[in-house]
Structure 1
């Protein structure tokens, strides 16, 4: 079953990540045409994340567990070794329970790119009406394809954003590699990356309203 939270089951040779456990996705249960992502046909994806990061360090991880792998239950609070109560309260507000998938439309929600000088952003090249189209989509999305708590594939989305969150995520990772807090090498070209999933964490997680996690 796909679900938020639940027991943390990891392969015996895999260490518990430094980020809290968010969700588990059974790839064999996904309809064949549910996503255009090149995902394995079976096994599980385990998603881990903080609701936000201390820039420039990314704050999430995904572990693929192949079908048939021997797993053992781990301590779901191992990421909080000092038992900090504030962090425990945050984790206790993470969503719990089954996921139910729905294949739906996903459209871009950004209309600008970042530039290295004032005004620091500019209209999306080749798309002079991008801002108007994004505004129109924002006004009609709830009637056509309402945003869900967790999204697999599609375009990255955030509560308030005019830049592509994927571009921001790629910049964060490349800066983290330069800072030595993330293993490289990685491509700095967003065209080499794809969104795996979005989690609108701020809808549930106490104290992190408006936060969205991108994997």
Structure 2
């Protein structure tokens, strides 16, 4: 953790100590901090514009139009190299696609990486997913947010306190962190003063309406089951340590009727390092 992140987390540390959590437990927890990018739709503001919700769908020649509605694009060249701890490409665009509801046992969305300078064509955004006479879904897509995304470069701590260890039947506190549940509550209390959540987050830790396990762990389980059922192309490691959160979209803040919905784009570390962004798996938490 760099000096800037540590400085920003001073309110968290002070609150944890004030609640009687031993300093050594607080310091160990702080080693889990990750940089992230919080993106908020706003036409005006001091933060830099690094992407947009909606807009024209521009895809490389030869890339099929995704089967899910277009959510947002992010200009990777507009992100500082240390904005996240993910091995993202240094330029080009990431395009995110998804429904804001569970599509179990399938991936509920896609990611397309558009390299800088690639020849692109504009596509019909309703070409592949168009749901015919299902007005609910047409109205849903029509309510997707539109407009520029402004970035704040923030820090993220876990929202979950428990994990499932390989071969175990029950969950346990995050190993090495016996005060995890208390520390998660401290983060819930202090986050708004440190790094207020945006609508779309790149990197960091995953959040949703009700967190017990890391949402990435649930997404990995869904990916493995999708492979086993023949609904997603493998391989898919069953170990959450082999995966990272690429992005979260708090869709319930934007899409009427899907309040409480959060979309998680996750990807295996080796696929991200190899720029196989099409290998992202998408899981959705929605409590209708």
The answer to whether TM tops 0.5 is yes
Partner of 2:118: 69
Are the structure 2 counterparts of residues 81 and 13 from structure 1 closer, same or farther at C-alpha, using a change threshold of 3 Å? farther
Unaligned runs of 5+ in 2: 1-49, 266-288
Query: How far apart are residue 83 of structure 1 and its match?
Result: 4.9
Between the aligned partners of 2:56 and 2:142, the Cα distance in structure 1 is: 14
Query: How far apart are residue 130 of structure 1 and its match?
Result: 0.6
Which moved further from structure 2: 142-151 or 78-87?
78-87
2:201 pairs with 1:201: no
Q: Is the 8 A contact 2:217 2:240 kept in 1?
A: yes
Q: Is the 8 A contact 2:131 2:138 kept in 1?
A: no
2:236 pairs with 1:186: yes
Partner of 1:31: 80
Between the aligned partners of 2:114 and 2:157, the Cα distance in structure 1 is: 30
Between the aligned partners of 2:62 and 2:211, the Cα distance in structure 1 is: 39
Partner of 2:58: 9
Partner of 1:54: 103
Unaligned runs of 5+ in 1: none
Between the aligned partners of 1:83 and 1:29, the Cα distance in structure 2 is: 40
SS at match of 2:110: strand
- 2:214 aligned to 156, 164, 182, which one? 164
Tell which structure's C-alpha radius of gyration is larger. 2
| Number of residue pairs aligned between Structure 1 and Structure 2 | 213
Query: How big is each residue's C-alpha offset from its partner over 1:47-103, in whole Å with a ceiling of 9 and x where there is no partner?
Result: 001112232212011100111111111111121152521111001111110011111
SS at match of 1:86: helix
Query: How big is each residue's C-alpha offset from its partner over 1:139-160, in whole Å with a ceiling of 9 and x where there is no partner?
Result: 1111111111011111111121
SS at match of 2:153: coil
Between the aligned partners of 1:111 and 1:94, the Cα distance in structure 2 is: 32
Between the aligned partners of 2:137 and 2:156, the Cα distance in structure 1 is: 33
Flag the structure with higher strand content: 2
SS at match of 2:155: coil
Q: Spell out the pairing of 1:72-83 with structure 2 (5 A cutoff).
A: 72-78=121-127, 79-83=129-133
Between the aligned partners of 1:16 and 1:159, the Cα distance in structure 2 is: 31
Partner of 2:197: 147
Partner of 1:174: 224
Query: How far apart are residue 12 of structure 1 and its match?
Result: 1.9
2:125 pairs with 1:41: no
Task: Give me the TM-score of the superposition, normalised by structure 2.
Answer: 0.71
Task: Give me the TM-score of the superposition, normalised by structure 1.
Answer: 0.94
Query: How big is each residue's C-alpha offset from its partner over 1:174-214, in whole Å with a ceiling of 9 and x where there is no partner?
Result: 10000100001111111111111111001011111111111
Partner of 2:136: 86
Partner of 2:264: 214
Query: How far apart are residue 123 of structure 1 and its match?
Result: 2.8
SS at match of 1:104: strand
Flag the structure with higher helix content: 2
Between the aligned partners of 1:166 and 1:202, the Cα distance in structure 2 is: 18
